[in-house]
Amino acid sequence: MAKVLMKGNEAIGAAAIEAGCKYFFGYPITPQSELPEYMARELPKIGGIFLQAESEIAAINMVYGAAGAGARVMTSSSSPGISLKQEGITYIAGAELPCVIVNIMRGGPGLGSIQPSQTDYFQATRGGGNGDYRVVVLAPSNVQELVDLVIEGFDIADQYRNPVMILGDGMIGQMMEPVEFKKPKSRDLPEKDWATTGTGGKRKPNIINSLYLEAEELEEHNKKLQAKYNTIKENEVKVESYNIENADVVIAAYGTTARIAKTAISQLEKEGYKVGLIRPITLWPYPYDEFEKINDKCKGILTVEMNTGQMVDDVKIAVKGKYPVHFYGRTGGMVPTPGEIVEKVKKIYGGEI
Amino acid sequence: MAVVFEKTKGLTDVETHYCPGCTHGIIHRLVAEVLEELGVLDETIGVAPVGCSVLAYKYFNCDMHEAAHGRAPAVATGIKRVRPENFVFTYQGDGDLASIGTAEIVHAAHRGEKISTIFVNNAIYGMTGGQMAPTTLVGQKATTAPYGRDEKHCGKPIRIAEMLATIDGAKFVERVTVTSPAHVRKAKKAIKECFQVQLEGKGFGIVEVLSTCPTNWGLTPVEALKWLEDNMIPYYPLGNFRRPEEVVSSIQK
């Protein structure tokens, strides 16, 4: 299939439809509204349903119902709206249902701004709602990768019966790039024999539920969830790394920020600096092991984010105190420039920080 | 020997957790009997609430989905939009539907969502131990209204049936009770008519059932029935607020 030029938010919709998603429940919020608008336009053409809910809370609970009924289903929002969805997300995780949730992040806290940011890293990677649970968090850094991850995200969700979150920032949602729609790697997906379809008089009732009143039962349920999360950690880590075997400084960055870091790295290389990159593509499960491959002489790690320092905690966990971990971030909708990153790397080189 | 009564196939054999004298048991039975009589039990998906009837998913003998507090109409919307051929109902209490879930019920009705709601109103939060509900009567005592509900402080109780009857998408709205055999029969008829509205694809339907809570009202089961009739019915009048004419004719046949 030939490449087409698409805006990130619309490409998400096209990828979801390509993956067989026929149901979308949403609520408007900047900077992601092109996605529900795209679905409102396209889903009726394929016999699907787009429904604008009365709130983000209602939208995610509609997703909960639709996922329970066995459908591939998506919702999307941006930071404050994702906070409202956390109630539904924890129920979906607890009841072990598959769905894909898109967060096109904007500045916070509170109403914050409508400018791009990466301030929901903590919320996304630590579950977000109440209880011990995780969602698989996929962080694309270009529109092609966004499309690939949305398509694969539905398979991951179905394979593990778990919510998958696409975590992008306002920039990736708004930028236009050429994309093609490719089939993801083939997976052995389980039958949805747990779905509420009506018994048809042929089986015992199926019950979708996250309530376990007996302490022993809930502990067992949590152990089962943790075992599943461990399997996901073993199978689903995605990371891109560059030159970490030789680099004197390694930058850790994801999403749009990683693209800016790449520009900074090529600038630094022209000046003779050896700089590597670790770009987590899955933020949960986090590619901790990748940091083991960094060479022993590395002077330090620089984490770059569009927030005041969130992924930097995971970088510290990953390097186990072996290297100094530095942080550079812009926030509130401000975007780090390659020049700012170059300057910071040079300071680490010179032992100034 | 002639069989004069059989337990409906619409209920499981699980013993319920309801308090003695609580009318949830009767209402469960009526819903289940209607599902069986309409021949839709095998294609039914029920949505259970949070509150006293949180465990309803164990009692109804059909596919069930346990929702978050107040969100049953949204969950039911998701199910019905994916499976329009299935019969979908929600079973909710007054804390669930009339307080935290007002947005969900109003908008499900407003969209004319083809689902049916059984709304059990006992004027109190039962499961959490007798706190004031939006439906608690003025002067009625509750653990969070120890001096009785003060109208100046928290307003008058909310009348859900009357409110939903103003919404075009709500095609069937009726308030019933189950305090006597005659009322039980009328309640069952209303539930059947309400479910028929969904089966005929007409839109949203709700039956509000005035119910007792002897435990949290601090009354015996018999006293509770009388208290309901003396105090709740005058404020929450029984009767039909909305029905599509065609449904009426098909039921009367």
Domain closes at, from A236, A259, A288: A236
**pLDDT-derived band at B247, boundaries 50, 70, 90:** low
Residues B161, B241: contact at Cβ < 8 Å?
Answer: yes
pLDDT of amino acid B51: 96
Partner residue opposite A205 with nearest CB, options B61, B77, B103: B61
Are residues A273 and A202 part of one domain?
A: no
Mean pLDDT over A138-158 rounds to 98
Are residues A23 and A147 part of one domain?
A: yes
- Contact: A23, B77; criterion CB under 8 Å: no
User: Please, which residues bridge with residue A242 across strands?
Assistant: A277
- What is the sign, positive or negative, of the torsion defined by CA atoms of B9, B15, B17, B20? positive
Are residues A169 and A72 part of one domain?
A: yes
Best interface-test mutation with A: which of B40, B69, B75, B113 has the largest number of A CBs within 10 A?
B75
Work out whether strand A300-305 and strand A282-284 pair parallel, antiparallel, or are unpaired.
unpaired
HEC string of A231-245?
A: HHHHHHCCEEEECCC
Domain closes at, from A221, A236, A251: A236
Best interface-test mutation with B: which of A90, A196, A199 has the largest number of B CBs within 10 A?
A196
Best interface-test mutation with A: which of B11, B43, B45 has the largest number of A CBs within 10 A?
B45
The CA distance from A108 to A332, in Å, is 7
In A, which residues are within 8 Å of B75 by CB distance?
A: 61-62, 64-65, 68
Work out whether strand A275-280 and strand B170-177 pair parallel, antiparallel, or are unpaired.
unpaired
Please tell me what DSSP assigns to residue A44: G
Q: What is the CATH classification number for the domain harbouring A285?
A: 3.40.50.920
CA distances (Å), origin A265, targets A144, A260, A336: 22, 9, 14
The CA distance from A10 to A297, in Å, is 44
Q: Is the pLDDT of residue B104 over 50?
A: yes
- Helix, strand, coil tally for chain A in percent (to 5): 40, 20, 40
In A, which residues are within 8 Å of B58 by CB distance?
A: 207
Are residues A117 and A208 part of one domain?
A: yes
Are residues A319 and A298 part of one domain?
A: yes
User: Please, which residues bridge with residue B204 across strands?
Assistant: B170
* Per-residue pLDDT tens digits for A151-170: 999 999 999 999 999 999 98
Catalogue the E-assigned strands of chain A.
4-7, 23-26, 49-52, 73-77, 99-105, 136-138, 163-169, 176-179, 207-208, 239-242, 249-252, 275-280, 282-284, 300-305, 325-329
pLDDT of amino acid A201: 96
Token pair 């131990």: residue: B129
If one counts every other C-beta atom within 10 angstroms of the C-beta of residue A66, the result is 30
The CA distance from A150 to A20, in Å, is 11
In A, which residues are within 8 Å of B82 by CB distance?
A: 23, 49, 65-66, 69-71, 73
User: Please, which residues bridge with residue A303 across strands?
Assistant: A252, A327
Percentage above 70 pLDDT, chain B: 97
Are residues A83 and A228 part of one domain?
A: yes
Between B1 and A278, where is the model more confident? Answer: A278
Domain residues for the domain of A320 are: 239-349
In B, which residues are within 8 Å of A59 by CB distance?
A: 74
Best interface-test mutation with B: which of A51, A61, A194 has the largest number of B CBs within 10 A?
A61
CB proximity list for B36: less than 8 A, separation 6 or greater: B8, B9, B10
Tokens of B140: 């009625």
Are residues A132 and A249 part of one domain?
A: no
Picking from A270, A262, A276, A243, the residue whose alpha carbon sits closest to that of residue A338 is A262
If one counts every other C-beta atom within 10 angstroms of the C-beta of residue A69, the result is 29
CA distances (Å), origin A126, targets A299, B25, B151, B216: 29, 41, 44, 39
Residues of chain B in Cβ contact (below 8 Å) with chain A: 41-45, 47, 54-55, 57-58, 60-68, 71, 74-83, 86-87, 103-104, 106-107
Picking from A26, A47, A21, the residue whose alpha carbon sits closest to that of residue A37 is A26
Q: Is the pLDDT of residue A142 over 60?
A: yes
* Per-residue pLDDT tens digits for A282-331: 999 999 999 999 999 999 999 999 999 999 999 999 999 999 999 999 99
Q: Is the pLDDT of residue A70 over 80?
A: yes
Q: Is the pLDDT of residue B38 over 60?
A: yes
Partner residue opposite A205 with nearest CB, options B63, B71, B103: B63
Mean pLDDT over B119-141 rounds to 97
- Contact: A207, B63; criterion CB under 8 Å: yes
Mean pLDDT of chain A: 97
Residues A27, A39: contact at Cβ < 8 Å?
Answer: no
Partner residue opposite B78 with nearest CB, options A55, A69, A201: A69
**pLDDT-derived band at A353, boundaries 50, 70, 90:** confident
Please tell me what DSSP assigns to residue B232: I
HEC string of B92-149?
A: EEHHHHHHHCHHHHHHHHHCCCCCEEEEEECCCECCCCCECCCCCCECCCECCECCCE
The CA distance from A126 to B151, in Å, is 44
The CA distance from B27 to B23, in Å, is 6
- ipTM score above 0.90: yes
**pLDDT-derived band at B250, boundaries 50, 70, 90:** low
Give the up-direction half-sphere exposure of residue A243: CA atoms within 13 A in the CB hemisphere. Answer: 15
Q: What is the CATH classification number for the domain harbouring A17?
A: 3.40.50.970
The CA distance from A322 to A333, in Å, is 32
What SS3 class is residue B178?
A: coil
The continuous run of DSSP H or E covering A263 comes out as helix A255-270
The CA distance from A181 to A199, in Å, is 37
Indicate yes or no: pTM above 0.95: yes
Are residues A262 and A185 part of one domain?
A: no
The CA distance from B39 to B58, in Å, is 20
* Per-residue pLDDT tens digits for B49-89: 999 999 999 999 999 999 999 999 999 999 999 999 999 99
Q: Is the pLDDT of residue A277 over 60?
A: yes
Are residues A252 and A266 part of one domain?
A: yes
Mean pLDDT over A168-185 rounds to 94
Residues A162, A104: contact at Cβ < 8 Å?
Answer: no
The CATH classification of domain B24-252, taken from the options 1.10.1740.10, 3.40.50.970, 3.40.50.2300, 3.90.1150.10 = 3.40.50.970
pLDDT of amino acid B245: 79
Picking from A68, A94, A92, the residue whose alpha carbon sits closest to that of residue A225 is A94
Token pair 């039914």: residue: B44
pLDDT of amino acid B249: 55
CB proximity list for A142: less than 8 A, separation 6 or greater: A172, A177, A259
Total of domains in chain A? 2
Q: Is the pLDDT of residue B253 over 80?
A: no
Are residues A138 and A21 part of one domain?
A: yes
Residues of chain A in Cβ contact (below 8 Å) with chain B: 23, 25, 49, 51, 53-55, 57-59, 61-71, 73, 87-88, 91, 95, 196-201, 205-211
Domain closes at, from A236, A259, A277: A236
